[in-house]
Amino acid sequence: MIDAHGLRKTYRTKGRRGSAPADVEAVRGVDLAVRDGEIFGVLGPNGAGKTTTIRMLATLVVPTGGTATVAGHDLLTAPERVRENIGYVGQAGGVDENNGARAGLMLAARVNGLSPRDAAARTEEMLAAFDLTGLADRPARTLSGGQKRRVALALGLVHRPPLLFLDEPTTGLDPQNRANLWDQIRGLREQGTSVLLSTHYLDEADALCDRLAIIDHGVVVAEGTPAELKREVAADVVTLRTDDGSAAERALAGLPYVREIRPGEPLRVYVDDGEAALPRLLGRLAESGVALTGVALERATLDDVFLHRTGRSLRDAA
């Protein structure tokens, strides 16, 4: 559905008040392969280049370099064919605040070439699919954040594109609306729509995406299914709090069942079988005279993958 190689985007910013123009390398050579019918996530911190990547693939930003085939068409030589085969829901949503969902959908359907009769039928179908029938004629400005996102999703799908781009679809939603939207996105996959979404939420990438690319500073630092990515780091993490982290590190370094140790507060010790490793780790620390103030056993998360690849936590990265 998407095959991109070496996509790059450098923005040239105008110099202000005597300062020279500067180049911002937003995306620095991204390869992506999205398969038919999957939910693919682009996960990364603020400013990593997620929006720019999605907007290039959706024909809204012209790449500075690289090539891509999107929904079977060449991005650079046939952008209008790409456009016919994709839906795009940006961060702002593209919902007209003064329009009702029904009027907005009708307009979008007509703009996409449906006859008045087909447009009306499709509009009612989308209103029902996104649970908007009862709200269909209220101006969008009176809808809640979650309801507005559902309108935006319906607008992006009105012309039945096989591929939908969603730029941070759940940012700012409360947990219940977020879960609802996840269900709607899973429902799209069941109907055969491929989805590429960006997110900076670790749990969203983990729970919703079949595969993902983690990006940082405009490059892909890891790619795979959430399970594969986490397995690469370790299954479990023992976190240790102690007043003498370096003594703890020395005591545990080189143990055959320890995959990696990340210094910090708490110290993170990566192991494949946490239940088996924990008593042995504690025994070793006691033998070495290291006093602990706290211990926990956790499953590895995508944040551990990000930490492993970049040396920073995605939670702290900006």
Of 4, 30, 40, 50, which one interacts with ligand ATP (CB under 6 A)? Answer: 50
199 binds ligand ATP (CB under 6 A): no
The minimum distance between CB 147 and ligand ATP, in angstroms, equals 23
Of 19, 46, 77, 176, which one interacts with ligand ATP (CB under 6 A)? Answer: 46
CA angle 210, 225, 215 (to 5 degrees): 100
Q: Which stretch binds ligand ATP (CB under 6 A): 50-58, 221-229, 232-240, 307-315?
A: 50-58
CA angle 237, 240, 244 (to 5 degrees): 140
52 binds ligand ATP (CB under 6 A): yes
178 binds ligand ATP (CB under 6 A): no
CB atoms within 10 A of CB 225: 13
Q: Is the peptide bond before 226 cis (omega within 30 degrees of 0)?
A: no
Of 6, 37, 47, 162, which one interacts with ligand ATP (CB under 6 A)? Answer: 47
Q: Which stretch binds ligand ATP (CB under 6 A): 44-52, 76-84, 150-158, 177-185?
A: 44-52
Sheet with 236-242, edge to edge strand ranges: 258-262, 267-271, 236-242, 292-299
> What is the rounded distance in angstroms from the CA atom of residue 143 to the CA atom of residue 171?
16
28 binds ligand ATP (CB under 6 A): no
Tokens 């030589």 correspond to 77
Comparison of 48 and 237: residue with beta carbon closer to ligand ATP = 48
Of 24, 76, 128, 207, which one interacts with ligand ATP (CB under 6 A)? Answer: 24
> What is the rounded distance in angstroms from the CA atom of residue 229 to the CA atom of residue 211?
9
The minimum distance between CB 309 and ligand ATP, in angstroms, equals 16
266 binds ligand ATP (CB under 6 A): no
Residue 256's closest CA among 235, 277, 278?
277
SS3 (DSSP) at 226 = helix
Q: Which stretch binds ligand ATP (CB under 6 A): 42-50, 119-127, 129-137, 274-282?
A: 42-50
DSSP string, 266-295: SEEEEES-HHHHHHHHHHHHHHTT--EEEE
Comparison of 24 and 276: residue with beta carbon closer to ligand ATP = 24
Residue 60 parent element (H or E): none
The minimum distance between CB 55 and ligand ATP, in angstroms, equals 8
Comparison of 54 and 234: residue with beta carbon closer to ligand ATP = 54
The minimum distance between CB 182 and ligand ATP, in angstroms, equals 19
11 binds ligand ATP (CB under 6 A): yes
Q: Report, in this order, helix, strand and coil percent for the chain, each rounded to 5.
A: 40, 30, 35
49 binds ligand ATP (CB under 6 A): yes
200 binds ligand ATP (CB under 6 A): yes
The minimum distance between CB 122 and ligand ATP, in angstroms, equals 31
> What is the rounded distance in angstroms from the CA atom of residue 140 to the CA atom of residue 85?
26
The minimum distance between CB 43 and ligand ATP, in angstroms, equals 10
Of 41, 44, 66, 156, which one interacts with ligand ATP (CB under 6 A)? Answer: 44
8 binds ligand ATP (CB under 6 A): no
Binding interface with ligand ATP (CB under 6 A): 11, 13, 24, 26, 44, 46-52, 200
